[in-house]
Amino acid sequence: MAETLRFVIDRTETPIGELLIIADGEGRLRATDWREHETRLFRLLRRYYGEAGERLAPQRDPNGLTQAFDAYFAGELAAIDRLPVATNGTPFQQAVWRALRDIPCGTTLSYGTLARRIGQPAAVRAVGLANGANPISIVVPCHRVIGSDGSLTGYGGGIERKRWLLQHEGALTGAEHQTQLFASAGAASR
């Protein structure tokens, strides 16, 4: 009989809200999300893991994961680079999520470039969907993927968090931030 998965949950305050951290019994990161999206997180865990996704025992700093996130938000950007992760998903999603981890901190790339990197240049929309289904934001850095025109497109935690993360990592400077704000304002008025 297969071993039943056991999950633990921790929470940590960040400059952009409370982050929920889900780990398995081996200390691998399984999911992250923001407090206001807790219902979405639990729904995802149930879909991927069944009953195991419903039984979350509180545990402070599982396998040092929370400490690594705290260090990242304090400016030690490399603190999350080698965290162990494990996710359920289709083989295509897994390929996209692995490619996301190869995007260096401080850089961005487009959905089209990501599709080419996984050898599926025509699968831009599918890459976007897989990016959006990523259960481990920040560590599997879906926020580093932007529109081909440089626009900040969808992020499950909200565009303002995406903007903050990119600025925090140095991928979006203050001047680019202002350009993005003006471009967004112009697009909204059209």
114-132 tens-digit pLDDT = 999 999 999 999 999 999 9
Active site residue 142: yes
Say what percent of the chain tops pLDDT 70. 88
pTM: 0.86
**Tokens describing residue 89:** 């998903």
What's residue 172's pLDDT? 83
Residue-averaged pLDDT of the chain: 88
What's residue 3's pLDDT? 56
Query: Is the confidence at residue 175, as pLDDT, over 80?
Result: no
Q: Which CATH class is domain 91-189?
A: mainly alpha
- Report the phi/psi class of residue 50: left, alpha or beta, with left for phi > 0 and alpha for psi in -120 to 50: left
Q: How far apart are CA 21 and CA 38, in angstroms?
A: 11
Contacts of 1 (CB under 8 A, 6+ apart): none
Collapsing DSSP to helix, strand or coil, 60 comes out as coil
* Stretch(es) of the chain classified as CATH 1.10.10.10: 91-189
Q: Which of 100, 103, 109, 142 is catalytic?
A: 142
CATH code linked to domain 7-80: 3.30.160
* Stretch(es) of the chain classified as CATH 3.30.160: 7-80
Contacts of 2 (CB under 8 A, 6+ apart): none
